[in-house]
Each structure stands twice: as structure tokens, then as C-alpha cells.
Structure 1
């Protein structure tokens, strides 16, 4: 693991730091984060420095930084560079309350702004290229369209859930099979998903696919979204995936659970969605996929309690407990 001293020296080669790097308590699953101040274009500004092994995650962050607009407040990306056998990325820092920590009334004010962000993503061209002002340190960023699924049919992308022990997060299948919950519902859910999306090919757009879990900052009263970051799960799919994400995880977050997210989203997007008649089927397919992926993920991190909780939630979408 890179020492703070080594990381500090590497950052200072790209940006003049003002003061030390301070570890962030709530870092991501695949990277470590630090905060600092740096001189950006001659002005002192707060920044976040993240370090991890997966360059493609940082490449997606750089890509998304070029989409910043009032509805989609993505922090600017300043630099991506190698540090020993890992990579580091420097972005602007933003402040606010994590979206999932809002109470019910604040969530009521925030949801329209979240929908605006999803709508802004729908308008982004499906082109993968980092903004020219991001210092990539000579790295060849992995912008093969395949990394975001642009070249794959939607049904194929959704149902390709095989365990690859050599891939990130791989080796989950035997752990899931050996968990107290077992893997029967995973295989049954995958079979259900195959039938559910047969013949369904929605318009594709970029999807964040992790609009919770410390990746979105909002005003404390929910009156605006302050920042959307950590785009490592970005892919090209049905925009309803981001809506299904909120709906699937709502029971984990009481403030969000107080709202009927699908009903509100159906009302918000009915006039602009050319396949609005398939809204319920598409949302359900996305939710089933989210459940299956997280049975695998929680098996990978050896969390039997979350495997069981995810399995119960999945049952509400895949026919075992009704629709």
C-alpha cells in the first residue's frame, strides 16, 4: 500500500498542495480517499485524492467530469497518474449531506433533483473520451466502448452474470452456494430475468448505477444536489436502472422508503420515454439484476446477513413474493 508520504510527493508533482493529505473516513469499496487543499489555476481550492488499483474507475470519473451542468453537478477532474503499482486521481471537493442520510421530508424535496440528474444523463451522447483539460500523466485511458456496455444488446448485458474468478469481485459463486441462504434464488432469479427481458431493448443512455452509498451529496434540506461522484459503475443501459437502484435499496433507508419512487418516476418520465408502456417491466428487470449482482457481491465480501437481506428484497421482484 502506498504510504501517505509517497502519495503526497506524487500529488505535488501535479498540483501544489497546501497542507497535508487527510484520510477520508468513508472511502469507497475499491479505493482510498484523502482530502487536501491545492492551488488550482493559482487559487487555493479543496480537492479529493483517491488511490486504487482500477484505472478504468478513474477513467469513468474523468469522462463524467466533462458532463457537469446545473442538473448534473459532477466535480471537476484535475489529474490521473500512476503511483508505484496503483493509480491516483485528483478531483474537486464538494460539501453536503449524503443522500441516503436525508430524512423523509428532505427526500421529498431531493427526489425531483435526482430525477433531473438522471434526465441530464439521458441527454449525454454515448461517447467515451476524457475532457482535454484532465492531466492524464501520459496514461492511455481504457475507453474501449465495451467497458461501458455500448456495444452489447441490453438482454445480453443484463443476463451475463457468470462468475469469473480472475475478474474483480470474482470467486463469489462457491461462497454464495455455501452461505446459509444458498444460491437457489440466484439461479431462479436469473432464469426469471431471462424471460422478463426477452424482446425488450430500451433506448440506451449512460447510467451511474450507484446513486447512494456515499456517492451523492445534497443540501441538508434536500433542496438541491451538490455533487455526484464515484462513476466507477458507469455503463450504458436503461435509465430506469438508476430509478430501480433507489427503489431496491429503499428499505435500507427510512427517509427514502417513505416515498413511492416508481410512481413518482413514472409520472416524471412518462412524457419523454418512448417505451413508457414497458416502464414496469423494465424497472422490474433492473431491480432483479441489482439483486442478483448484490447476492454475488455480498458473497464475495462474505456478508451472510446482507446476502439474506438482499435475497428477501429480490423476492419482491422476481415472482417469489409477488410483484
Structure 2
């Protein structure tokens, strides 16, 4: 049962000093957020608390907060909490406009800044120790499953691990997908293609945000800099081009981004520093197919047949069913 406003006020007031202005925010897919102010280290700060059943999402947010730089502005995580049967996290609250609100000109100027985020992630050591400044409730296990994160397994093995696990988050989608007029066949054939294309391919690995849209990145109102990169729940260690393919795959859903050639811009930007740039096209295709497969499953899970069909049409531009340029 999600925590309501009265419960959130009481919970936060027990744990923080001078809590003020607790305000509910539109809930995300996996958590319920609240804006509030409180005094930490003697300073009144603008904060956001999120509550939900998925501990690892919050732990990943805390992990990523240790990577913040001017080019990668991750909100500072202050606390990881146990909230009854659920979990919580309290992080810095940063303002800004969402990338999705940009027009084509705005995206043209923002895209190099998004690429700079990816460059910064390429420099982060593949470790899972949290920053020492994050307060953790007594008894709360903050260990991450490194195999689930993609650490210690090959790129091929991580990519093809797309089975339906009904007892896990997002599980139970296979029956709905099987009843889809297009999605099930695309999924089965896509999995076969994914296994073939990824065999023997092991690109440089780094942390991947895997959700740089969906209102997870904000930019200053004047477009001068990114303000925040948050919601790290999909974080994994893989090919950095996955974040590029994410932008390209979903571009038709965002009018401003759709006007740009993301692939050409990425190749020009990353080419000089990527030792595996010769396989750029193959890697981009592989990442895009995996994104499509994941979202056929996800849209089956949430029961959205229109998005299954739309995702299937987009996949057709990558898996060989449609002879059309990306």
C-alpha cells in the first residue's frame, strides 16, 4: 500500500529536523515521491523522498550520487530508509526543465551535454560501494546483485537473459505477449537474432543509465547546462552505446529529438575515444533490438497493446523486417 501524505509527513518528521512543506508529486511507475524541506548539517535543504517496494532502485540512486560532476549532475543521496514493508530514499531536489520539453533546436544544443553524461559514466569504476555520506537505516541490506547489474557476466549472456519470471518485478508478461497479433512473433525472432548478433561481441563495458528520457534528466531553463540526472533504477554495466541507442530508438516518440540524426552525432563525438568504433553499427543495432525486446515485454506486462504495436513497428527498422533507414 503506497504511503499517503499524512504517513509521509509523520515518517519524515521522525527522521529529519525541521521538516516543512511536504508535498505529494505525481507518482512514478515504481515509487511514490514527496517534495519537502528539512535541515541537514545545519542547512535547510530542498529534498525529495521516494517510497516503494524496490530497494535496489534506491540503492542505485545512492551509488550514482557518488559520481556527480559538473557534466554529470546526480542529486546527492542523503539517506536510505526502511519504511514498514517498503523502502525509501531521500535525495537532493534540483530544479530544471525536462529534456522531453525541448524542441529540435533545444535538443541540438542539449545533445552534446547528454553525450558528456555518457562520457562521464565511461570513466566511473565498475564498483558498487556507496558513498560514505549516505545514511543507511540499521539492518537495511544495501548489497546489489552484481550479476543482475551485468558485472561478472559476458555482454552476450547479459543481453539474452530475457525470460519471464512471474514472481519478479515486471514478470507475468509472456501470456499477454503470446496473445498479441504481432509482438510475440517479433519477440521470439528478435531473441534469436539477438543471440546471433551478440555471440563473441564484447565491447568496452561501463555503467549505463538506461533511461535518459522519461523525465529523468533536467536542463537549465536557458539551456546552458544539465541540472540533474536521476532515477538510476535501470542502471547496469554494459556497452555505453546502449544509452545512445536509447535516444535513437525512442526519438519518434519525441518531436524535438526526432529531428536530429542521433547516430551520426554520436559516431562523430565518441569515435575518437572508442577502441571498438569499427563495430559501431553492429553495436547500435544490437542495443536497439534489446531495447525493443524489453519494451515488448514491458508493454505486455502493463497491458498496453497500442504500445506493443508501436514498439514492434520500431523494432522492424532494426531487425531486418523493414528495409528503411533508421
**Shorter-normalised TM-score: what interval?**
over 0.9
For residues 225-257 of structure 1, give each alpha carbon's deviation from its aligned partner in whole angstroms, at most 9, with x where no partner exists.
110000000000000000000000000001001
Report the equivalent of 1:29. 29
Q: Distance in 2 between matches of 1:146 and 1:38?
A: 37
Query: Does the 8 Å CA contact 2:13/2:19 hold for their aligned counterparts?
Result: no
Query: 1:298-313, aligned counterparts within 5 Å?
Result: 298-313=299-314
* Mapped partners of 2:104, 2:32: distance in 1: 31
Q: Judge conservation of contact 1:48–1:93 (CA < 8 Å) in 2.
A: yes
**CA positional deviation for 1:195:** 1.4
Matching residue of 1:199: 200
Could you tell me which runs of 5 or more consecutive residues in structure 2 were left unpaired when the two chains were aligned.
Answer: none
Question: Are the counterparts in 1 of residues 96 and 219 from structure 2 also a CA contact under 8 Å?
Answer: yes
Q: Structure 1: where are the runs of 5+ without partners?
A: none
Equivalent residues of 2:12, 2:19 under 8 A apart: no
Q: Which deviates the most, 216-225 or 38-47?
A: 216-225
1:17, distance to aligned residue in structure 2 (A): 4.2
| CA deviation profile, 1:48-91 (whole Å, cap 9, x unmatched) | 11000000110000000000101110000011111111111100
Residue 130 of structure 1: aligned partner: 130
2:101 aligned residue? 101
- Structure 2 CA distance, aligned partners of 1:197 and 1:150? 17
* Residue 262 (structure 1) shift: 0.7
Matched, 1:57 2:57: yes
Question: What are the Cα deviations for residues 137-158 of structure 1, in whole angstroms up to 9, with x where unaligned?
Answer: 1212022322311111000111
User: How far does residue 8 in structure 1 lie from its aligned partner after superposition?
Assistant: 1.9
Instruction: Say whether 1:111 aligns with 2:111.
Output: yes
- Residue of structure 2 equivalent to 1:208: 209
Asked whether 1:176 is paired with 2:177, we answer: yes
Partners of 1:67 and 1:124 within 8 A in 2: yes
Equivalent residues in 2 for 1:246-285, closer than 5 Å = 246-285=247-286
CA distance in 2, matches of 1:162, 1:216: 30
Match of 2:19 in 1: 18
Q: What TM-score, normalized by structure 1, do the two folds share?
A: 0.97
Q: Distance in 1 between matches of 2:250 and 2:222?
A: 21
Give me the whole-angstrom Cα distance separating, in 1, the residues matched to 2:192 and 2:20.
Answer: 54
**Residues 291/17 of structure 1: CA separation in 2 closer, same or farther (3 Å cut):** farther
How far residue 18 of structure 1 moved from its aligned partner, in angstroms, is: 3.4
CA displacement, residues 129-180 of structure 1 (integer Å, 9 cap, x when unaligned): 1111101112120223223111110001111111111111001011111124
The CA deviation at 1:221 is: 4.2
The count of residues paired between Structure 1 and Structure 2 equals 322
Change (3 A) 1:285 1:182: closer
Q: Per-residue displacement from partner, 1:95-137 (whole Å, max 9, x unpaired)?
A: 1111111111110110000000000000000000111110111
Conserved 8 A contact 1:18-1:36 = yes
Contact in 2 for aligned 1:106/1:221 (Cα 8 Å): no
**CA contact 1:240–1:286 (8 Å) conserved in 2:** yes
